[in-house]
């Protein structure tokens, strides 16, 4: 029963750890090529209806020095740009929207560590005309460069910690000390994945808010990747469940190696336990006659106690009680 109970106690956190590891790996490899989960992206920029200011004229006597007098709606392909751009963990992909309104990925850049979605650099490298981004986007871009690097580091550390948790977790089958060590690793994995999920969510919603705020004047919209959000928070939920169940395994079910592995105790130990079993009393030999007194017939018989005893005599009184 010890072997089966311990295995059932360890199985649940092991499955949660494995599910969390698979989800994080999917985030790490998505978008590394055109065929590698291209629909799992952090966010997507739609630049098909980008607006360009045609001229800036100074109006004397006006409150503002420069007032835009014309706005030209340009086609992204006319500017040498793709219709949309998607951001992933290590690179970005681009493509065009087909006639049946499907998003066709056509190119993904090479993966590299320290990647950040620098929209200014991307547009400057592809557009035939210089494009000035709104101030709200420029402010968010500074945060993107920091948060996206931190996010990638958290996901990588979370994946490493989760993999180590899955390997070390097998030792938890043999002892509760193994479960205790695995619990510490599982807690670290959960914190790393949680931090990565928070960074990803804050980054995506901040960029979406910045572009949507300037949508009327700029014409670029931002969409948050639903598959990415679902996967990252699923990984976080499984990591939390694994951490909780690993902690429970430190105090539930037997963790002794002898019970789990099915080893039997030596006969000497079982005999010693039998001697210590309560309610098996034996008569002790007389300390005056020696341990052979009963065999030689010299032992003093035990005196009756209770109702068969004669009344006692008290010397301070003149009669029997």
The domain tally of the chain equals 1
The residue behind tokens 């019970």 is: 259
Q: What percent of the chain has pLDDT over 90?
A: 34
Residue 226 belongs to a domain: yes
DSSP state of 90: S
User: What is the per-residue pLDDT for 257?
Assistant: 45
pLDDT tens-digit series, residues 234-279: 999 999 999 998 888 887 665 454 444 444 545 555 445 444 555 5
In degrees, to the nearest 5, what angle opens at C-alpha 126 toward C-alphas 121 and 129? 95
pLDDT band at 126 (very low <50, low <70, confident <90, very high): confident
Question: Where is mean pLDDT largest: 3-12, 168-177, 223-232, 280-289?
Answer: 223-232
pLDDT tens-digit series, residues 72-90: 556 666 777 888 999 999 9
- Single pTM value for the model: 0.71
Distance CA 159, CA 127 (A): 37
Residue 143 belongs to a domain: yes
In degrees, to the nearest 5, what angle opens at C-alpha 200 toward C-alphas 161 and 101? 125
Dihedral-angle region of residue 308 (phi above 0 means left; psi in -120 to 50 means alpha; beta otherwise): alpha
Please say if the pLDDT value at position 60 is more than 50: no
For residue 289 the two structure tokens come to 């006659």
Residue 117 belongs to a domain: yes
pLDDT tens-digit series, residues 162-188: 999 999 988 777 777 777 888 999 999
DSSP state of 171: G
Residue 320 belongs to a domain: no
DSSP string, 246-285: HHHHTTSS---HHHHTTPPPPHHHHHHHHHT-SS---PPP
Residue 267 belongs to a domain: no
Distance CA 18, CA 24 (A): 10
Cβ atoms within 10 Å, residue 298: 12
pLDDT tens-digit series, residues 137-163: 778 888 888 899 999 999 999 999 999
What are the E-state strand segments in the chain? Answer: 43-46, 51-57, 67-73, 84-87, 92-97, 103-108, 221-224
Residue 154 belongs to a domain: yes
Distance CA 188, CA 217 (A): 45
For residue 246 the two structure tokens come to 């690993």
pLDDT tens-digit series, residues 202-234: 999 988 888 888 777 778 888 999 999 999 999
Residue 49: domain span:
2-58+65-259
């Amino acid at each position: 029963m010890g072997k089966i109970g311990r295995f059932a106690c360890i199985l649940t956190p092991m499955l949660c750890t494995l599910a969390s590891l698979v989800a994080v790996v999917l985030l790490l490899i998505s978008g590394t090529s055109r065929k590698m989960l291209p629909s799992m992206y952090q966010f997507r920029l739609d630049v098909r209806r980008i607006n360009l200011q045609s001229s800036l004229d100074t109006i004397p006597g006006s409150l503002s020095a420069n007032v835009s007098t014309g706005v030209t709606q340009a086609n992204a392909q006319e500017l040498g740009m793709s219709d949309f751009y998607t951001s992933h963990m290590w690179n970005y992909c681009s493509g065009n929207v087909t006639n049946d309104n499907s998003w066709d990925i056509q190119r993904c850049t090479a993966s590299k560590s320290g990647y950040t979605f620098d929209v200014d650099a991307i547009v400057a490298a592809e557009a035939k005309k210089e494009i000035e981004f709104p101030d709200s986007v420029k402010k968010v871009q500074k945060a993107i460069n920091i948060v996206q690097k931190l996010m990638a580091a958290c996901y990588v550390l979370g994946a490493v910690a989760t993999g180590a948790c899955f390997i070390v977790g097998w030792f938890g089958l043999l002892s509760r000390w193994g479960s205790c060590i695995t619990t510490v690793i599982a807690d670290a994995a959960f914190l790393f994945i949680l931090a990565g999920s928070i960074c990803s969510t804050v980054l995506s919603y901040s960029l979406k808010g910045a572009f949507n705020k300037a949508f009327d004047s700029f014409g670029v919209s931002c969409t948050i990747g639903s598959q990415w959000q679902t996967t990252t928070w699923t990984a976080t939920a499984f990591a939390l469940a694994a951490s909780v169940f690993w902690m429970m395994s430190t105090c539930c079910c037997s963790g002794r190696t002898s019970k789990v592995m099915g080893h039997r105790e030596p006969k000497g130990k079982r005999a010693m336990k039998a001697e210590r079993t309560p309610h098996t009393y034996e008569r002790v030999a007389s300390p005056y006659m020696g341990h052979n007194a009963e065999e030689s017939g010299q032992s003093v018989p035990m005196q009756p106690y209770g109702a068969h005893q004669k009344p006692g005599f008290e010397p301070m009184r003149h009669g029997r009680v």
